[in-house]
Amino acid sequence: MSAHEAMDAPRLKVPDRALSRARMKVNRAAWAARYYRNFSRPAVLRIAEAIARAGEEKAAHFAEMAVEETGFGVVEHKAIKNRACTHELLDFYRDLDLVTPRVDPARKMVELPKPAGVVFAIAPATNPVATVYYKAMLAVLSRNAIVMSPHPAARHVSVAAAEHLARAAEAAGAPSGLIQCVEEPSIPLVQDIMASDRINVIIATGGTAMVRAAYSSGNPALGVGPGNALAYVDPSAKVDAAARCLVESKSFDNSILCTNESVCLTLESNRGNMERALRSAGAHICKQADTDRLRDYLFTDHGFNVAAIGKSAAWIAERAGIRVSPSVKVLVPVVEKPGQDDLLFREKLCPVLTLTAAVDFRQALTFAKHTARRGAGHSAAFHGQDRARLLAFSQEMPVYRVVVNVPCSQGAAGFGTYLPPSFTIGTGFAGRSSVGENVGPQHLVHWTRIAYARDAAEDLSDLDPAAIATVTDAGAPVPTGILPEEAPPVPAAAAERPEISRELLRQLILEELRSLRRGDE
């Protein structure tokens, strides 16, 4: 650097305020996590009930905010998704105890739950509030703190939703900082926080690049891949019911769930019936010219036309130059030959469902497997009564969820089936993901297992799980978050919040100082 350049160089490096604030949130979450990990199961459930109640109260309000801010989806449908991530989600996991130690005398084993600590969660623009609700509930049920990073296109509603849940949690006795959200997300900020040694696990829901970045961060990550769900309609299906399922699923929230069907596959002998049934259910069946116009509009030289994401069928038809009824719910381009690699066989986060037909079931399976590779490990739907074909289809498809005779958008996400309710759909080995299930709170807890010798005589009858939960390594009591029944009345927030001893506080401060010292080395 020349002398002149040195003179002109800034004297002070201005810090990145957004990044500094995000790092402070992570530090605050680390303290909250250490405190919260000692809460009892009843205290955890009371906090979960509080955020479920708060989320329910503002589900419709935040749905309106989300559509207004992002331009994606349908307000009424977003409200349904938001509500599904409150009491319905809590009720599904209510009996899953991730807090109480387990004693198994028959196997001579004691299992101690260990929460992850600080969860860093990435939320997409397509389902911003539902994802915030869902991931906050998972963290609370598993006794973890969570810091969320919303998509920039949905940051205002995401921050508002997270702060609303945080206030409810703290009023119910949760430590301050348990639920937080980054206000000004950016790629450099997210990359920095993902690599932080204060982050214990990442839940990445979003585009492929972001999920890959999470796996490359150096921290444990639960990432999910894109969907491209195929629905096979067998001749044994009740065709009218199948068509209603497909139109309901593909039009739900303008098809921005990754579990929505992108391709409908049937056999040539059934294609005419499918076209008739889809038309009756509210779909527009495209002629060849309309199919070509739709393909040209949706897929450009730069990939999928993002302007179409989450828009209505009528809106897309108008832009593509296709005349349709204003009440049309789904556009159905028809591709005659399923074997060709048509762009319309790819994922489409909008109410456009490609229809094609195979000569026989063998060809249908071959095409279905080929199509599912773009969305490997995700989801598929089967409509029909032929159990042998259902099993063959499920065995051959490189997916981990096959829903039967139900809308795939809702069914694969666990709403309308007994699959776990989820807005993070694991794509497993096939999709290059670390988890193949619908992600739940159990994925945020690991267990220390104390195992005695198989042949030794050990009596574990004197081990009380409740007593184990309230004893530290040193034998001193740990705060449990529960007051004795005979305790005098106190304010609700204080009643749920465990006392923190001077000794425990001193240990936390010393640990904090040691970690800071290590960071300077």
Half-sphere exposure of 197 (CA within 13 A, CB side): 6
DSSP 86: I
Q: Where are the beta strands (DSSP E) in 145-247?
A: 145-149, 179-181, 201-204, 221-223, 229-233
Q: What is the pLDDT of residue 16?
A: 82
Q: What is the pLDDT of residue 281?
A: 98
Q: Where are the beta strands (DSSP E) in 320-439?
A: 330-332, 354-358, 377-383, 399-404
DSSP 195: T
The first and second tokens of residue 97, run together, are 């105890």
The DSSP code sequence of 256-321 is: -STTSEEEEEEEHHHHHHHHHHHHHTTEEE--HHHHHHHHHHHEETTEE-GGGTT--HHHHHHHHT
* Rounded Cα–Cα distance for residues 348 and 365 (Å): 21
The first and second tokens of residue 109, run together, are 């084993």
pLDDT in tens, the chain (521 residues): 554 554 454 544 555 899 999 999 999 999 999 999 999 999 999 999 999 999 999 999 999 999 999 999 999 999 999 999 999 999 999 999 999 999 888 888 899 999 999 999 999 999 999 999 999 999 999 999 999 999 999 999 999 999 999 999 999 999 999 999 999 999 899 999 999 999 999 998 766 777 788 888 889 999 887 899 999 999 999 999 999 999 999 999 999 999 999 999 999 999 999 999 999 999 999 999 999 999 999 999 889 999 999 999 999 999 999 999 999 999 999 999 887 789 999 999 999 999 999 999 999 999 999 999 999 999 999 999 999 999 999 999 999 999 999 999 999 999 889 999 999 999 989 988 889 999 999 999 999 999 988 888 887 877 777 776 655 433 334 444 433 333 333 334 443 444 444 555 455 545 545 544 444 44
CB 39 within 8 A of CB 142: no
The first and second tokens of residue 472, run together, are 């530290």
Which positions ≥6 away from 152 have C-beta within 8 Å?
125, 185, 186
Q: What is the pLDDT of residue 486?
A: 31
CB 89 within 8 A of CB 137: yes
Coil vs helix vs strand at 210: helix
> Residue-wise over 470-497: b if at least 16 C-beta within 10 A, else e?
eeeeeeeebbbbbbeeeeeeeeeeebbb
DSSP 255: G
> Which residue is associated with the tokens 């000692």?
38
Domains belonging to the chain, first-starting first, are 22-224+440-445 (3.40.605.10), 229-411 (3.40.309.10)
Q: What is the pLDDT of residue 105?
A: 86
* Rounded Cα–Cα distance for residues 383 and 407 (Å): 10
CB 390 within 8 A of CB 381: no
* Rounded Cα–Cα distance for residues 227 and 208 (Å): 11
CB 356 within 8 A of CB 334: yes
How many CB atoms lie under 10 A from the CB of residue 444?
Answer: 24
Q: What is the pLDDT of residue 213?
A: 82
Q: Among 258, 264, 286, 408, which one carries the catalytic annotation?
A: 258
- The phi and psi torsions of 357 (rounded to 5 degrees) equal -140, 135
CB 412 within 8 A of CB 74: no
- Provide the total of helices (H) and of strands (E) in the chain, helices listed first: 20, 17
Q: What is the pLDDT of residue 346?
A: 94
* Rounded Cα–Cα distance for residues 164 and 129 (Å): 11
Q: What is the pLDDT of residue 453?
A: 87
Beta-sheet pairing, 445-451 with 179-181: unpaired
Distance of CA 400 to the CA centre of its chain: 16
Alpha carbon distances (Å) from 64 to 54, 200, 208, 251, 261? 16, 33, 28, 18, 25
CB 303 within 8 A of CB 208: no
Residue 264 among the catalytic residues: no
H/E run at residue 5? helix 3-8
H/E run at residue 30? helix 17-36
